Amino acid sequence: MNIDDFFTKTGTYGWFQKRTYIFIFLVTLGGCMQAFLQVFVAGQGDHWCRVSQWENDTCDFTNVSQSECRELKRRLSTPLTNDDVLQSCQKYNLTGVDLETAIEDNITHYDVIGCDEGWYFDNSVFRSTMTEDWNLVCDNFGIPNLLQSIYMVGYLAGSVVYGSLADRFGRYYILLFCSFSAGGLGVLSALSPNVYIYGALRLLVGASVYGSILVGFVLGTEIVSPKARVLFGVALWYAEALAFFLLPGLARIIPSWRWLIMVSSLVYFAIIPGVWLIYESPRWLLTKKRTQAAESVMRTIARVNGSDVAVETYTDVKNDDDEDDDDRKAAIIFDLLRSPVMEKNLLGLLFNWFVQSFVYYGLSLGTSSLGGDVYLSFCLSGGAEVLSFLVCIPAMNKFGRKWSASFFLFLAGFACFGTILSPLGPIRVTVAMIGKFAITASFTIIYVYSAEIFPTPLRIMCVGFCSVAARVGGIVAPLILVLERAWPSLPMICFSSSSLLAGCLVFILPETKGKRMPDTIQESIDLKKPLQV
C-alpha cells in the first residue's frame, strides 16, 4: 500500500486534515494581507507645497470658513500646469509676502520654486501613511513602488531558499520558522525609523511570508488523498479573497499606518497552537527513510480521524517517489532540454506565469488610481476573485484548459485596455474589476494546467521555474505603475498587450482535458495527440 492509499483509508476529509488546513489558511491570509498592505500604508492622496508664513493666518479679513481658507491659500500659492491643474510639487516664491498682500497682488509673475518647506497632505482618503511621514512625493514619488518591488524580491528569495530548506529539514520546522519570523519582522517593520530600515525589513518579511505560504501549501497537499488535493489547493485561494475584504476594513478603523502593519503581522501568531497540533509530513519522512517517525505521525493521523487501521498497515506504507534517484532525474532533465516540444511548453508557460503575476499585481496595487473609493474598490477586487474561483473550475471541465485560459487572458487584456478609455470613477472601477476577475481565473487555470503538462519526475522542478517567473512579474509590476507619471495610460497598455500576447501563446500548449498526467517525457510530448483512451 502506498501513502495515498493510507490517506484514503484513514479519511479524505478527517479532522487532522481540517485542523491543519485551518492553520495553513491563517498563514496564507496573513501573507496575502502583507502583500497588499502597500495600497493603504503608502497611499498617496492629494498634496501641495507648504507655505510656513501663512500657517497661522485664519483668513479673518475674507470672511470665509477654515476649509475655504485652506483652499484659498493653496490656490494663491500654487501655479497651474498646462492643463489648468494645480501643481503638487511647485509653488510661487512667497518669501516675505503675507496672505492679504497675495490676495490683492497679481502673484502669477512671481518666481516658481520647488517645495522647499515640505508639503501639506489631504487626509480625506488616507488618514496616515508613510508617504506623508517620510515625504515620499515629488522627487521621491517612486519610492513606495520600489519598496513593493523589494518586497517581491523577498518573495523570490523565499521561494528559492525556504523551498530548498523544507526539502532538506522538513515542512514542519520551516513552516513554523517562516510564520514566526514573518510576524516578528512585520512588527519590527512597523517600528522602522526611516525608509531604508523599512525597505530592508520588508525584504526579509517578503521572504518569510512566501516561505510560509509555499511550505504550508506543500504540507497541506502532502497530508491529503489525491481526491482532496484540487479542493485543498483552490480553497486556499479564498484566503487571498478574504484578505481583500479584511484589509480595507482594518485600514478604515485603524488610524495609523504603523498599527495597521502591526495588526496584520499579528495574524501570524495565530499559528502558535500549531506547534502542538501540526505534524511533519509522513510523505516527506518516508522519502528520508525515517520510517519510525513516519509511522508515529500516521498513527496520530488515524487516531485523530477516528480511523481503525490495522497495525501492519503502517509498516507496509511506502512512497512511490522512493524509487527516483538523482541519476534518473538528471537523465530526464537532459532529455527535456533535448526535446523541442518540451522546451516550447516550458517557455510558453514561463511567459504565461510572468504575465499572470505581472497583470494580477498591477491591477491589485493600482486600485487607488481608478478614481473611485479605494476601500470599496479593494473589496470589489476580492469579490471578483471569489467569482473567478467559482467560474474557472467548470470552465476547465467544459471547455478544456487551453480555451479557458486563452479566453480569460484575452478578456483581461481587453479590460485593461478598456480602463484607458473609461472615465475615472465607477465605470473605470467596473472595467478594471472585470480584468481582475479574468486574470485571477486564468492564473488559477494556468496553475493546474502546468501540473498536467510536465512529467512526474520534473513536475515540481518545472513548476518551481514557473513560480520564479511569476515572482519576477510581481517585482516588475510596481515599477511599471510608476510610469503613469510620464504617461497615465502606459501601465495599462503594458498590462493589456502582455495579457493578449500570453493568450495567443497558450495555443502552442497541448490540451490536457481528459488525459492522465504524464509520468515520462514521451508521455508529455504525446499530449499533443488526440484524447487518450
The Cα 290–Cα 366 span in angstroms is 48
| Predicted pLDDT of residue 81 | 79
Q: In sequence order, which ranges of 124-194 are alpha helices (DSSP H)?
A: 130-133, 143-169, 171-190
Which grid coordinates belong to 388?
473567478
> What are the residue ranges spanned by the domains of the chain?
1-44+139-323, 47-121, 324-533
Identify the helix (H) or strand (E) that includes residue 47.
strand 47-49
The Cα 38–Cα 262 span in angstroms is 13
| Predicted pLDDT of residue 532 | 46
Q: Which CATH number, 3.30.160.70, 1.10.10.10, 3.30.565.10, 1.20.1250.20, labels domain 324-533?
A: 1.20.1250.20
| Predicted pLDDT of residue 456 | 63
Topology adopted by domain 1-44+139-323: Growth Hormone; Chain: A; (1.20.1250)
| Predicted pLDDT of residue 355 | 95
Which grid coordinates belong to 472?
519576477
pLDDT surpasses 60 at 319:
no
| Predicted pLDDT of residue 168 | 84
* Residue 332 vs residue 396, higher pLDDT: 396
Least confident of 34-38, 85-89, 128-132, 418-422: 85-89
What is the pLDDT of the chain when averaged over all its residues? 85
| Predicted pLDDT of residue 291 | 86
Q: Is 516 exposed, middle or buried (0-12, 13-18, 19+ CB in 10 A)?
A: exposed
pLDDT surpasses 50 at 533:
no
At position 137, the amino acid (one-letter code) is V
The Cα 208–Cα 211 span in angstroms is 5
Which residues on neighbouring strands pair with residue 476, listed in sequence order?
none
Which grid coordinates belong to 146?
520600489
C-beta separation of 285 from 306 below 8 A: no
Identify the helix (H) or strand (E) that includes residue 76.
helix 66-77
Please list, residue by residue across 74-86, b when 16 or more beta carbons sit within 10 angstroms of its beta carbon and e when fewer do.
bebbbeeeeeeee
Which grid coordinates belong to 338?
533535448
Q: What is the 3-state secondary structure (H, E, C) of 12-68?
A: CCCHHHHHHHHHHHHHHHHHHHHHHCHHHHCCCCCEEECCHHHCCCCCHHHCCCHHH
Residues 6+ apart with CB under 8 A from 526: 518, 532
* Residue 372 vs residue 89, higher pLDDT: 89
C-beta separation of 148 from 365 below 8 A: yes
C-beta separation of 318 from 3 below 8 A: yes
pLDDT in tens, 476-493: 989 898 888 778 889 999
pLDDT surpasses 50 at 442:
yes
Residues 6+ apart with CB under 8 A from 385: 237, 240, 241, 244, 436, 437, 440
Residue 323 confidence class, pLDDT cut points 50, 70, 90: very low
pLDDT surpasses 90 at 359:
yes
C-beta separation of 293 from 317 below 8 A: no
| Predicted pLDDT of residue 233 | 67
pLDDT in tens, 26-78: 999 999 999 889 889 998 888 899 988 888 887 777 777 888 888 888 888 88
